[in-house]
Amino acid sequence: MGSRWFHMTAADLGRDIERGRINPVELAEGFLERIADHPLSTRIYARTTEARARAEAMAAASRARSGFRKGPLDGVPVSWKDLFDTAGTATEAGSALLQGRVPARDAEVVETATLSGLVCLGKTHMSELAFSGLGLNPVTATPPCLNDERAVPGGSSSGAATSVAYGLAPAALGSDTGGSVRIPAAWNDLVGLKTTAGRLPLRGVVPLCESFDTAGPLAHSVEDCALLLAAMEGRRPPVLSGATLAGARLAVLETVALDDLREGPALGFQDACARLARAGARIERLAFPPLSEAMGLTTILFTAEAWGIWRDRIEAAPEKMFPRILERFRVGAAFSAADHVAAWRRLRQIRREWAEAAAGFDAVLVPTAPILPPDARRLMTDQDYYVTENLLALRNTRIGNLMGLCALTLPTSQPSCGLSLMAPPGEEDRLLRLGAAGELALRCTGLDPAAPRHPGRGSPAAPSPPAMARRQTPSAARDGQKSHNPNDQPLGMDGKFWTAASGAAIVTQTGADQIPGQRQIWRFLSGFRTCRIMRFRACGNFSMRTPPAASPSP
């Protein structure tokens, strides 16, 4: 039994089971022991399922010995968010309203994943009834954030993300209604996949807003997410080998998604876009003004439906709820059925307009979240701070839910800052191939495993590491080396930032003149504003056309 198991991807564990190097029973026992011994495990797992895990692992070991494994993840342990029904084990969705709720049958996706050979380690903590993007839950537990244990981990799949980030599960299954897979994945430096609404069956999944609810994986790699989605569907996984960014056409969404962008997310997004371009992607800019109107419909669309689902249960015992969550639900009472129908009619029209506007792109890029994980203690004491940070946390991810898309978040060079790729509904396989190529392009990020990950939060800055150092591995993070080089400068095109002056493209070297936050990202992207980018090659060179001097920047 080796500690290296806790730092391996789910795919690598599956390959070692196939080769006979790992016994699924020993693997499950290793993770169960680690969960039992870990000082933070009670803040991550609501409950473990030891008997089930051992039985499923024994069956997987028998299949491995006989050469009849059910799939590439047969025998690999996973955690499940505590809103997926598990037969004979409490499923309470992070709420005292559901305390003692023990389903008699697995959720349909749990059944399918079990038939694919996944081993259930247990149920993970979550935001109450999945109605927050922060992961703060004083009713049950608030898991820690990998990069700052004083901060919230993101939600609502908070325990799902941290079970993987802290090495208490190789992978996790969560849900996403407005960002609940992607936010905690990004804030804990993981990969997270939001599936298209309706792709995975939700029978036996505690609902929040059934029109937008989806299920999806959180893991260390794009490959893991692809394999987990296939296991949840009971099908063959997509082929990711040979994936490339050469010729890919990507759009940076400039409407809404770049507003109020704070420094860390801006730096991570800028660096990620530059790396994708150098890997061969053609990056352009996309303005979509109707998105602002769609964002204004979110309260009607999400809250009214959530209130309709939960009103009777909530009003029977409102004192059992976290007041911040109770208030969010009750907002839905203000809307009529006519309001809700009209909002949906308008949203469907905006979705059609989005499909036309984004039709020429392989994916649309946004920062996964415009903010870093907020301080948990302040969220409990400052209501205005809670409301502001929760809305900002969910803002960019909600774009994918509103437009009915599938979306994938990847870690960037900045801790707790993700890059999201959004693709048309039902295009998960194509998105995963694009994500696999993007993951490779983002891999070298200059992280220093000996430096503090969040300068300014009680730790002094560390010197810069050698250029192009390999990204910090999951094992380093989970063994306490949760660190980041604060002096690592984001790379622009060929190590430079792009900006514009007097209608011409100019190059500014990185260094002390960098502008933080939103101004920083606009400065970077302004090159795309003043130059028509004709082509990117894999080497990072490109040709450009400078507009005439008389033509102002749009």
Catalytic residues: 81, 156, 180
Chain centroid to Cα 405, Å, comes to: 14
Name residue 506's beta-bridge partners.
499
Alpha-carbon span 500 to 200, nearest angstrom: 46
Alpha-carbon span 269 to 254, nearest angstrom: 12
Helix (H, G, I), strand (E, B) or coil at 28: helix
What φ, ψ does residue 377 adopt, rounded to 5°?
-65, -40
- Can you say whether the dihedral through the CA atoms of 101, 106, 108, 110 is positive or negative? positive
Strand pairing category for 119-124 and 77-81: parallel
Alpha-carbon span 127 to 379, nearest angstrom: 14
Cα distance between the two ends of the chain: 61
Name residue 383's beta-bridge partners.
none
Strand pairing category for 418-423 and 406-411: antiparallel
Residue 323 identity: P
Dmax (CA) of the chain: 74
Residue 374 identity: P
Alpha helices in 219-262 (DSSP H): 222-233
Q: Cis peptide before 66, with omega less than 30 degrees from 0?
A: no
Alpha-carbon span 508 to 432, nearest angstrom: 34
Alpha-carbon span 163 to 251, nearest angstrom: 33
Query: What are the residues whose beta carbons fall under 8 Å from the beta carbon of 319, sequence distance 6 or more?
Result: none
Alpha-carbon span 45 to 196, nearest angstrom: 27
Residue 517 identity: G
Alpha helices in 178-289 (DSSP H): 182-187, 222-233, 263-278
Nearest to 152 by CA among 379, 367, 323: 379
Q: How many residues does the chain have?
A: 554
Alpha-carbon span 63 to 253, nearest angstrom: 47
The token duo for 329 is 């639900």
16: left (phi over 0), alpha (psi -120 to 50) or beta: alpha
Name residue 25's beta-bridge partners.
none
Q: How many CA atoms lie within 13 A of 62 on its CB side?
A: 6
Alpha-carbon span 373 to 185, nearest angstrom: 12
Place of tokens 């941290």: 162
Name residue 174's beta-bridge partners.
216
Q: What is the b/e burial string over 330-359, where b = at least 16 CB atoms within 10 angstroms of the residue's CB?
A: bebeebeeeebeebeebbeebbeebeebbe
